Amino acid sequence: METTLILFKPDAVEKGLIGAVLQRFESAGFRVKGLKMMHLSEDVLKEHYAHVADRPFFPEIVAFMQSTPVVALALSGEDAVSRVRDLLGPTDSSKAPAGTIRGDFGTNMMVNVCHASDSAEAAAVEVARFFAEGETF
């Protein structure tokens, strides 16, 4: 069993997609381990997006990710990281096939409904970043 992190991005929050997307994850057999809504600070975003924090487009990411609260979700299940990413589809929603979450609801590379951990190691770090001890069950 793995636990992975999903962040419902501002587009999912604004469009009222949280329930529909969460239903897809639960229907696929995943279990909710933690769920909360929060505003993200610039410091958290710099840490979370450290791999692109020095790029010229980083301020756009910060502005987008701070435009509404986001919803952090810790999900567990067998092969959770890879299975969640398969359900989401490619990061670029414009290339995601219909039937995937991003293909059905996303717009582009940034406005793509959800962030999901890309490895079990990243998931452990990301879950700890967004959930304090005692906030996952």
Spatial separation of the C-alpha atoms in residues 91 and 88, rounded to whole Å: 8
- Please give the pLDDT value at position 119: 97
Strand duo 70-77 + 2-8: pairing: antiparallel
Q: Which two tokens stand for residue 53?
A: 């924090």
For residue range 85-117, what is the model confidence (pLDDT) as tens digits? 999 999 999 999 999 999 999 999 999 999 999
- Please give the pLDDT value at position 51: 93
Q: State the distance between the two ends of the chain, measured CA to CA, in whole angstroms.
A: 14
Confidence of residue 38 (pLDDT cuts 50, 70, 90): very high
Largest CA distance in the chain: 39
- Please give the pLDDT value at position 61: 96
- Please give the pLDDT value at position 95: 98
- Please give the pLDDT value at position 13: 98
- To the nearest whole percent, how much of the chain has pLDDT over 70? 100
Confidence of residue 17 (pLDDT cuts 50, 70, 90): very high
Write out the catalytic residue numbers: 115
Per the prediction, the chain carries an average pLDDT of: 97
Domain boundaries, the chain: 2-130
- Please give the pLDDT value at position 34: 98
CATH number of 2-130: 3.30.70.141
